[in-house]
Structure 1
Amino acid sequence: MSNNKPPSAVADFIAGNFGGMANVLVGQPLDTIKVRLQLDSGKFKGAWDCTVQTVQKEGFLALYKGMASPLIGIGAVNALLFAANSNIKQRLQTHPDEVLGLNKIALAGAGAGIVNSILASPVELLKIKMQAQFGHASVDGSKHFTGPLDCAKYLIARDGVAHGLFRGLWATVVREIPAYAGFYTGFEATKRYLTKGQDKQADIFQLMTAGAVGGIGYWVFSYPLDVVKSVVQHGDTPPKGLYITSVLKRIYARDGMAGLFRGFTPTVLRSIPAAGATFTAYELSIRAFQANGW
């Protein structure tokens, strides 16, 4: 049994914040490894080697580099994401109590992904810039950022807002469409399967399991596009033209299919607890708000 009453905008916003923060706290270390592998040019032999080198050379807390940007921004990002998803699902319903088919769940997820890109793109850019920095100071003469605000100021001053802070926006949009279609469809399909014939709402284990499947679905449908986004956002110069296709071709020409899936394993491993925590925090928060009339 499920509660089909749509959450209020306030409940969606706060619950989305909780879900986003849970995602960052659980998944940041493996996300750092993912980004470093995506940008690697021969420094690491694999995910474990990247982890060992990072901890040995920079300390354990280096795995949490760039966390400030998503921890602060991911709340707003997820609030926008879940609010957009709820709104689109309501618009797709023919009557208030309709249980949407999975095709409409995927469509709502894709639409929410497009809206979400507006905030996700700059938040992820700053995170990637921080995660890609090795050591505690510049060793090759390149700019070393002391934090996300320092990074944002530098990029805006050098390249402007569109090409600086919002570099990679279109790559983010293209990634988010299939990613969130897979994210929400995987979650909803699994939750429905696990609660079939059940006269109560999904419990924490069922939410965690469904969320984990949703997280895997996110990356299965979008990973090469995420590699493109990371490469573009970490680049020294703004991309030109239809850059998504050209960057894909360049990575494939250099490294083959392996280059488009570099870092895939730690990413999927990260998504299992991180997405599980995201959906669980969101769903439990929404239930609490609705129980109190929000």
Structure 2
Amino acid sequence: MDLRTVNELIAGSVGGAAQVLVGQPLDTIKTRAQIAPKGMFTGPMDILKQTLRNEGFFALYKGMASPLIGIAGVNSLLFAAYGVSKRIISPFPDLSLQQIAVAGAMAGAANAILASPVEMFKVRMQGQYGGKDDKRLRVVMRDMWKEWGLREGIMRGYWVTFVREIPAYAGFYTAFEFSKRQFAKKYGKDVPVWALLASGSTGGLAYWLSCYPLDVVKSRVQQRSTPPVGNPFKYIGGEIRAIIAESGFAGLFKGLTPSLIRSIPAAGATFAAFEITREYLLEYTGV
């Protein structure tokens, strides 16, 4: 394996861990806004208040074990796939923003392989509200495997995740690179850490704005008691129509506000951790 890819795998793991530790509480609020029964909450602040009152502070970190372990692998795959995609598109390091968007889309498509099961377990953990029947992660995993198997259980929502990741990471990397290049014009190659944080935050905002309705569909599909059947595009379209029938067009954007707020520190931390680790590895390995 190319040593550059190994370095990207390692740096991606560090970035993924930073992302989860910083962003999990707001991710829990976002997911609950998407999947909670109608009328259970009045909005994001009510979700926060009820969660703290009924389940305690650490309930905001429900489902963190899945992404903390999984996102390290997911981000390793993502950043490595992005690096490989850039090298496939062009042998030269300075790609245009259009080429960056294509490389990001390719990386997102590869990323869905690991992202789908990680997201599925996270959503199902976050969809428990402190009742006596709440399950631990290992029980959720065991039950999904036992009842539905690999395809319908562990990989539930794969196609929605796949469709979501393509525009999401095209927007993510394009916005990050654009912002970073603007800072580089002023600071040169030694872009300060705060500028990396700001660039990462810009990428995070672009990620959600590029894909959010599909994220709502993904969460609902993964939270169902039974897996979706038939043509993926048909059931994705059917879920979109069901959301609009229940909550209007605004239903496709439930939980968007906490997602955008979360993306500022979480994506900033992800990219800063990745870039700092990557620079260290570059000095250590020479590539």
2:245 is the counterpart of 1:250: no
- For the pair 1:77 / 2:58, whether they are aligned, the reply is no
Q: Does 1:90 align with 2:96?
A: no
User: How many Å separate the matches in 1 of 2:3 and 2:29?
Assistant: 36
Q: Deviations over 1:208-264 (max 9, x none)?
A: 000000000000010000000000000001112221111001101111111100000
Which amino acid in the other structure matches residue 35 of structure 2? L
9, 16, 22: which one aligns with 1:20: 16
Task: State how far apart, in whole Å, the 1-side matches of 2:3 and 2:101 are.
Answer: 19
Measure the CA separation in 2 of the matches of 1:213 and 1:256: 29
Alpha-carbon distance between aligned partners in 2 of 1:201 and 1:89, rounded to the nearest angstrom: 22
CA separation in 2, counterparts of 1:289 and 1:65?
33
Ranges in structure 1 where 5+ consecutive residues have no aligned partner: 1-5, 139-143
1:200 deviates by 2.8
Specify the SS of the correspondent of 2:18. helix
Question: How many Å apart are 1:7 and its aligned residue?
Answer: 6.5
Structure 1 residue 201 displacement after superposition: 2.5
Verify: 1:100 aligned to 2:95, yes or no.
yes
For structure 2, list consecutive stretches of 5 or more residues without a partner in the other structure.
Answer: none
Partner of 1:179 in structure 2?
168
- Asked if the contact 2:5–2:84 (Cα under 8 Å) also holds between the matched residues in 1, the reply is no
Query: Alignment partner for residue 158 of structure 1, among 124, 147, 161?
Result: 147
Preserved contact between residue 25 and residue 60 of structure 2 (Cα < 8 Å): yes
Aligned residue type for 2:179: T
**Alignment correspondent of 2:27:** 31
8 Å CA contact 2:63, 2:123 repeated in 1 = yes
Residue 120 (structure 1) aligns with = 115
How many residues end up aligned between the 2 structures? 281
State the TM-score, normalized to the length of structure 1. Answer: 0.93
Q: What is the TM-score when the length of structure 2 is the normalising length?
A: 0.95
Q: 1:82 to 1:183 in 2, by over 3 A?
A: same
Instruction: Report the CA distance between 1:199 and its aligned residue.
Output: 3.0
- Per-residue deviation at 1:70? 0.3
Find out whether 1:228 has 2:209 as its counterpart: no
Structure 2 equivalent of residue 8 of structure 1: 4
1:3 is matched with none
Match of 1:202 among 161, 186, 191: 191
Q: Is the 8 A contact 1:7 1:286 kept in 2?
A: no
Among candidates 261, 265, 273, match of residue 273 of structure 1: 265
| Counterpart AA for 2:57 | F
Structure 1, residues 151-198: CA drift from partner, whole Å, max 9, x if none?
111001101110001010000000000000010001000010121153
Structure ranking higher in helix proportion: 2
Match of 1:52 among 49, 54, 57: 49
Contact kept? 1:211, 1:277, Cα under 8 Å = yes
Quote the Cα distance in structure 2 between the aligned partners of 1:13 and 1:129.
Answer: 27
Q: Percent sequence identity over matched residues? A: 50
Partner of 1:141: none
Paired position in structure 2 for 1:146 = 136
